[in-house]
Amino acid sequence: MSRGCLIVFAKAPRVGRVKTRLVPPLSFEQATAFYDAMLRDVLDATARFAAELDLEPVLAVDPPSAVEELRARTPSAFRIRAQRGAGLGERMANAFAEAFATGAPRVLLRGSDSPGLSAAHVSEMLDALEAEHDLVVCPDRGGGYAMIGQGGPEPGIFDVPMSTPEVLGDTLALAEGLGLRHTVIASTFDLDTAADIVHLDDLIRVKALDLCPRTVETRERLRSDRVL
């Protein structure tokens, strides 16, 4: 049995449906291309992390009709599933429940817009879960989190308003109220707005561009075109 399951939550890269907060300065088509590059990087990196850490990689896709569309661009190690549920919190709770139902002893879930999330982040979270923490969170710099992990099903942890600057604080307060043993690891960044793109320079400084070569290449192309 593997050490657990590592889920990537992703949207199909469709114009007008992804990274709309990058518009402007990007056009909707450019924002979609940027997300597509980032998603490919995240999937490649996650496949490596899963192999290194003995985890099963899973891609959870929204909308459900895009499962086959994304299969062609996803590393073969991934199991691909549709996201189920009305809102983000419900879809995340369902993804955890499905993973635990398959027998996974631990489950980690990451987004597709955090290209700086590294194997060290995943390893630290996995170690914390194996040390019998119920909940582990990797914050992003916008008040949310880039990755969340559970040592057992706790669907109530997602009963907070999602996509707000208070998500992390609300989640930790809820964990405290539920009596969950929880911890927070070092943060990373999400790329949601044009101002966030500068965080890619952090990876250049620490020579971690292997995490997201397509994302950086797309950024440089947009700079050369004087879009950024």
Class of domain 4-224: alpha beta
pLDDT at 7 over 80: yes
Chain centroid to Cα 10, Å, comes to 8
Cα-flanking dihedrals φ and ψ of residue 79, to 5°? -90, 135
* DSSP class of 18: S
Span 168-213, pLDDT tens digits: 999 999 999 999 999 999 999 999 999 999 999 989 888 888 999 9
pLDDT, average across residues 93-117: 97
The pLDDT score that the predictor gives to residue 3 is 97
User: Does this model's pTM top 0.85?
Assistant: yes
Do the beta carbons of residue 124 and residue 183 sit within 8 Å? Answer: no
Angle between helices 28-53 and 119-130 (to 10 degrees): 50
CA distances from 135 to 12, 14, 92, 172 (A): 28, 33, 14, 9
Residue 205 zone, left/alpha/beta (φ > 0; ψ -120 to 50; rest): alpha
pLDDT at 1 over 80: no
Query: Which amino acid belongs to residue 127?
Result: D
Span 160-176, pLDDT tens digits: 999 898 999 999 999 99
Pair type for strands 107-110 and 145-150: antiparallel
**Opening angle at CA 50, ends 44 and 51, nearest 5:** 95
The domains of the chain are located at 4-224
Q: 3-state class of 148 per DSSP?
A: strand
Share of the chain above pLDDT 90, in %: 93
Do the beta carbons of residue 119 and residue 194 sit within 8 Å? Answer: no
Find the Cα–Cα–Cα–Cα dihedral 211, 20, 170, 201, rounded to 10°: 30
The pLDDT score that the predictor gives to residue 163 is 86
Do the beta carbons of residue 57 and residue 78 sit within 8 Å? Answer: yes
The pLDDT score that the predictor gives to residue 117 is 97
CA distances from 97 to 92, 148, 182 (A): 9, 14, 19
Q: How long is the chain?
A: 228
Q: 3-state class of 28 per DSSP?
A: helix
Structure tokens, 188: 């990373």
Span 21-61, pLDDT tens digits: 999 999 999 999 999 999 999 999 999 999 999 999 999 99
The pLDDT score that the predictor gives to residue 20 is 97
